[in-house]
Structure 1
Amino acid sequence: MKYQARLEKLYAIMRAAGLDVVALIPGPNHRYLTNSVHYVLERPIVTFYRLDHAPLAVIPELEIPLFQRHAIPAQIVAYTDAEGYAGAFRQALERIGSRGATIGVEGLHMRFFEGEAIRAAAPGARVLDATEPLAALRLHKDVDEIAALRRAIAISEAALAATFADIKVGMSEIEAAAILEAHIVALGGEGLSFGTILHAGANTPLPHLGPLDYRIQHGDPLIVDFGATVDGYCADITRTVFVGAVSDEQREFYRLVQAANEAGRAAAAPGVACEAVDIAARQVFIDAGCEHLIRHRTGHGIGLEAHEAPYIVVGNKRLLEPGMVFTVEPGIYRDGEIGVRIEDNILITEDGAESLTTFARDLMVI
């Protein structure tokens, strides 16, 4: 059974990291292990995974029916709104036998009050951030995960092509983003990997700027960074185009980024260090004398999160292995003028690398 195998993978990670218990809130790891999604609201939901025991979950009473549909069954300690959750945490951690235990939490996901509830209910335990060992849980994608990513990418690329055909001078960034998102839904996407990043003109040097009411003008560069999700798996694609016309300076800017993207993709292969991909892309900009225009690493993993391990950055010595999926997204930015980024999604195979994204990378004027 797939989910039992995933649970065994978690237990192996726990043993290697010296963790007696791992506490997960709803999020990508929880979904990976249970095939279930819960809203993260003010009522805490925490599942404690214990070696050689069934998981034990602290949940609000109203979530019991949904929790019982999980792929991996868990023992439940429920609380009502009137009771509050403190007593449920005490009961759960007493049942676990937490005194002297080492409890790993998700430092990037768990909220402060959830961590404090665990510490208060387990005063004799050692609570630590297990982000690094837990990153290995979803690092290698199986055939079902890769199929979901392929579908999410295909939907994203079809939506992008349709959107480029619809964008007009005078349209706001917000309006253009809404068109893109409508195409994603119409094509079968279940949602968005993250809030759509779409900006034009002098807004393009801001890599994570959301769409504004700026009106797209003739001659503007236009960056679209977005992704559809399928079964929770996230595409993450960026293309930069030009509206109506392109100047010689814009053309040269684009040429450099296209070359860096090609260099990064060419460097990706099993057994290659993550940092080598970043270095290969970055070297194109260094050779052109524009290293000062770089603002970010070359890439990051994708899966149930739009940003996850492996990180494609100088200093990351982790070797690429079959089943890893990540972005190659070099970009350069000049404040107040222009930003260009080209982002592809790469799968490491047994004998090389495959670009799951196939959308045209040549300079495009729409």
Structure 2
Amino acid sequence: MMIPARGFELSEFEARMTRAQSEMTARSLDAVVITAPPNCRYFAGFATQFWESPTRPWFLILPRQGEPIAVIPTIGEPGLAKTWVKDIRTWPAPQPEDDGVSLMAQVLADCPRSYGRIGWEMGRESVIRMPIADFDRIRSACPGIEFADASPLIWRLRMVKSPAEIAKIEQACRIGSEAYAALPGQLSAGMNEHEVARTFRAELTGQGADAIPFMAVTAGAGGYDQIIVGPNDRNLASGDVLFIDLGATFDGYFCD
């Protein structure tokens, strides 16, 4: 079994950027601002545990012409410098009185304009990962620029997977499948649901999962009444129906 290499070739990121710029032209956008971690990782190849904290915003600007621009806290510069993104601008975050607001406003003002429209992640299953008050301050500092929803553009790009992406999804699914297959031999009546979850997490990690951000464990005599809460302290009994739903990842791609 061949485990896919982590990361992507430079050509993959360049192709994503080219497709994004083509979509911007079709949708009359001068640039797209990315703030959500999964999309930052998709376009820049950058991942950080710092995203677990909402203290600092991170911005990636995809201009319709030219190379991507990162506007990030200073602490992230050494890590981002290892990606294909070369234009990195920083501020000494956290700085609540101006957490990247003035720097972002300047970068957006300097972007070449043909349409006077900048796209943001405003649509379904999307998030602008910054305080709304700061978002409004950036918008106020950019007179003459319309902030529009770029989510359809991002969805259109991300729904089409490259062979390298498919290989990572297959690996994530393989990890999940093999962990499920191994689990029955590790469980017994008397274990509680927390112990089941810990056992399964250990198996998934041993199979190669990078993270298990979602795991619901629930059991009951003859069935269960919900599938999104748990585990809890209930002990398994003979005859119980045990339900486990999980989302494990490999290199940023999920099994479900």
TM above 0.5, one fold? yes
Q: Deviations over 1:23-69 (max 9, x none)?
A: 00142222122221133231111111111122222111111111211
Q: Distance in 2 between matches of 1:27 and 1:84?
A: 18
Whichever residue aligns with residue 67 of structure 2, its letter is A
User: 2:71 aligns to what SS in structure 1?
Assistant: strand
In the alignment, does 2:200 pair up with 1:200? no
Cross-structure match for 1:13: 23
Offset at residue 209 of structure 1 (A): 1.6
Q: How high is the sequence identity, in percent, across the aligned residues?
A: 29
Q: Distance in 2 between matches of 1:112 and 1:85?
A: 10
> Structure 2 length normalisation: TM-score?
0.83
Aligned counterpart in structure 2 of residue 69 of structure 1, from 78, 82, 100: 82
Cross-structure match for 1:43: 56
Whichever residue aligns with residue 155 of structure 1, its letter is I
Offset at residue 100 of structure 1 (A): 6.5
Whichever residue aligns with residue 7 of structure 1, its letter is M
Conservation of the 8 A alpha-carbon contact between 1:89 and 1:121: no
Cross-structure match for 1:150: 170
Q: Distance in 1 between matches of 2:47 and 2:137?
A: 22
Q: Deviations over 1:202-244 (max 9, x none)?
A: 78332322312222222222111113211111011xxxxxxxx
Whichever residue aligns with residue 156 of structure 1, its letter is G
Bigger relative contact order, structure 1 or 2 (CA pairs below 8 A, ≥6 apart)? 2
> Structure 1 length normalisation: TM-score?
0.59
Whichever residue aligns with residue 44 of structure 2, its letter is T
Q: Distance in 2 between matches of 1:99 and 1:210?
A: 52
Conservation of the 8 A alpha-carbon contact between 2:57 and 2:129: no
Conservation of the 8 A alpha-carbon contact between 1:99 and 1:124: no
User: 1:195 aligns to what SS in structure 2?
Assistant: strand
Offset at residue 117 of structure 1 (A): 4.6
Q: Distance in 2 between matches of 1:176 and 1:230?
A: 22
Q: Deviations over 1:245-281 (max 9, x none)?
A: xxxxxxxxxxxxxxxxxxxxxxxxxxxxxxxxxxxxx
Cross-structure match for 1:29: 39
Conservation of the 8 A alpha-carbon contact between 2:24 and 2:31: yes
Conservation of the 8 A alpha-carbon contact between 1:152 and 1:233: yes
User: 1:58 aligns to what SS in structure 2?
Assistant: strand
In the alignment, does 2:141 pair up with 1:129? no
Provide structure 2 residue ranges, at least 5 long, that are not aligned to the other structure. 1-10
Offset at residue 182 of structure 1 (A): 0.5
Whichever residue aligns with residue 24 of structure 2, its letter is M
Q: Distance in 1 between matches of 2:174 and 2:99?
A: 45
Q: Deviations over 1:106-137 (max 9, x none)?
A: 12121352633531332322112222231011
Cross-structure match for 1:95: 110
In the alignment, does 2:199 pair up with 1:187? no
In the alignment, does 2:99 pair up with 1:79? no
Q: Distance in 2 between matches of 1:147 and 1:212?
A: 35
Q: Distance in 1 between matches of 2:154 and 2:215?
A: 28
What number of residue pairs does the alignment pair up?
234
Whichever residue aligns with residue 234 of structure 1, its letter is F
Q: Distance in 2 between matches of 1:214 and 1:159?
A: 23
Q: Distance in 2 between matches of 1:100 and 1:149?
A: 37
Counterparts in 2 of 1:163 and 1:59: CA distance versus 1, 3 Å: same
Q: Distance in 2 between matches of 1:117 and 1:61?
A: 21
Conservation of the 8 A alpha-carbon contact between 2:20 and 2:153: no
Counterparts in 2 of 1:122 and 1:74: CA distance versus 1, 3 Å: farther
Whichever residue aligns with residue 191 of structure 1, its letter is A
Whichever residue aligns with residue 180 of structure 1, its letter is F
Offset at residue 76 of structure 1 (A): 2.5
Cross-structure match for 1:308: none
Aligned counterpart in structure 1 of residue 73 of structure 2, from 33, 55, 60: 60
Conservation of the 8 A alpha-carbon contact between 1:13 and 1:134: no
In the alignment, does 2:242 pair up with 1:222? yes
Conservation of the 8 A alpha-carbon contact between 1:77 and 1:91: no
Whichever residue aligns with residue 205 of structure 2, its letter is V
Aligned counterpart in structure 1 of residue 135 of structure 2, from 84, 100, 115: 115
Whichever residue aligns with residue 109 of structure 1, its letter is V
Over the aligned positions, Cα root-mean-square deviation in angstroms equals: 2.2
Offset at residue 97 of structure 1 (A): 5.5
Conservation of the 8 A alpha-carbon contact between 2:217 and 2:227: no
Conservation of the 8 A alpha-carbon contact between 2:41 and 2:47: yes
Offset at residue 99 of structure 1 (A): 10
Conservation of the 8 A alpha-carbon contact between 1:19 and 1:102: yes
